[in-house]
Amino acid sequence: MSQSIALILAPDGQALPDYVKQWLEARRLPTRGLTTADEIMSASLRSRPRLVMLDARHHPIAALKACRRLKQDSFTGIVPVVITTRAEETAFASAFDAGADEVLREGISDHEAFLRLDALLRRSDRDTFVHPSTRLPGTIEIESEILRRIEAQSKFAVCYADLDHFKEFNDRYSYYDGDRVIRILSKILHDVVKGTCGEAGFVGHIGGDDFIFVIPIDQVRETCAEIVSVFDVLVPYQYSEQDRRAGYYFGKDRRGQLHKVPLMTVSIGVVTNERRLFTHAGQVSELATEMKSYAKTLHGSVFSIDRRGDGPAGENPVTPVTPARAMEER
């Protein structure tokens, strides 16, 4: 998560344009002034700032050098960089060529500058909160979506999808093939959830082969069954013809012993607030992880719905201790 601080590069100590100072004050962004590209890079690496602003009006070479260095590093490359320049077209083009996310030329109106800077932060948040390979929302947005539904007091289901035998697939084929499978799963989840639930469905990517989707309770069975069905149709074609026809291949365990590895399946653990009262996203996450782990103990592609409740034993017909096998469909 970015820290709420803006780093400012002004090699000659030149004061920032008034509109920049006004915008920073209005957004309550504290600033730290630096004078060299080395200082900017060092500060950005230690703790990713909310924004880096480079003044290229008087010493453009230093500012452009700092921008290139920031954008070439995988950690600092996602930090939004703004360059202030002179009005000349060449200065404007050079700033974008160096990798700047926004360029503000002398003479720009205060109103336009405010709009551009606000839009830059919105784009930065959007890009930071999505997974780079699937472009799905990440953990921060997943938690926000769950909390939003808790606060709205709507009836919802959180579904944790995970691949079985994915590591063995990566070991036999390649990380490139594994990444393709993850993208296929993300596409299946997105298309099925949006197709069955429309705007009421949400799909997020935790990382690796772990996904979360949040849907209305009354659409759990239809949605999960369709995901399982489509996945089982498509995944065999990610294997060689020989492995696909056999339905398995031989892999080595941690001790180097050969064993049969079946084709990948998908396990989905489902938690709802039908019989539970959730107050924060952490409760939902813990139970969804538990149900996903339980689903992975079952054979084939399955989804398993938690039917337990919060009440004391005897008040609820569903056991509150161990996950109940609620639904399995191939």
Q: Is residue 326 part of a domain?
A: no
* 197-219 mean pLDDT: 95
Structural domain boundaries, residue 227: 139-305
Q: Is residue 134 part of a domain?
A: no
Q: What is the tens place of the pLDDT at every residue in 130-145?
A: 777 788 888 888 999 9
pLDDT, position 135 = 82
DSSP assignments along 160-173, one per residue: EEEEESHHHHHHHS
Task: State whether 175 and 98 are in the same domain.
Answer: no
In CATH, what number is assigned to the domain containing residue 177? 3.30.70.270
Query: With pLDDT > 90 as the criterion, what percentage of the chain qualifies?
Result: 66
* 192-214 mean pLDDT: 94
Q: Is residue 48 part of a domain?
A: yes
Q: Is residue 290 part of a domain?
A: yes
Task: State whether 38 and 179 are in the same domain.
Answer: no
Q: What is the tens place of the pLDDT at every residue in 53-73?
A: 999 998 899 999 999 999 998
Q: What is the tens place of the pLDDT at every residue in 165-200?
A: 999 999 999 999 999 999 999 999 999 999 999 989
Q: Is residue 20 part of a domain?
A: yes
* 205 pLDDT higher than 70: yes
Task: State whether 107 and 159 are in the same domain.
Answer: no
* 297 pLDDT higher than 70: yes
Task: State whether 185 and 285 are in the same domain.
Answer: yes
Task: State whether 123 and 161 are in the same domain.
Answer: no
Task: State whether 207 and 239 are in the same domain.
Answer: yes
The number of distinct structural domains making up the chain is: 2
pLDDT, position 329 = 37
Q: Is residue 73 part of a domain?
A: yes
Q: What is the tens place of the pLDDT at every residue in 79-115?
A: 999 999 999 989 999 999 999 999 999 999 999 999 9
Confidence of residue 257 (pLDDT cuts 50, 70, 90): confident
Q: Is residue 165 part of a domain?
A: yes
Task: State whether 237 and 171 are in the same domain.
Answer: yes
Mean pLDDT (the chain, rounded):
88
Query: With pLDDT > 70 as the criterion, what percentage of the chain qualifies?
Result: 91
Task: State whether 124 and 173 are in the same domain.
Answer: no
Q: Can you give the C-alpha Rg of the chain in angstroms?
A: 25
Residue with tokens 């060529």: 97
In CATH, what number is assigned to the domain containing residue 95? 3.40.50.2300
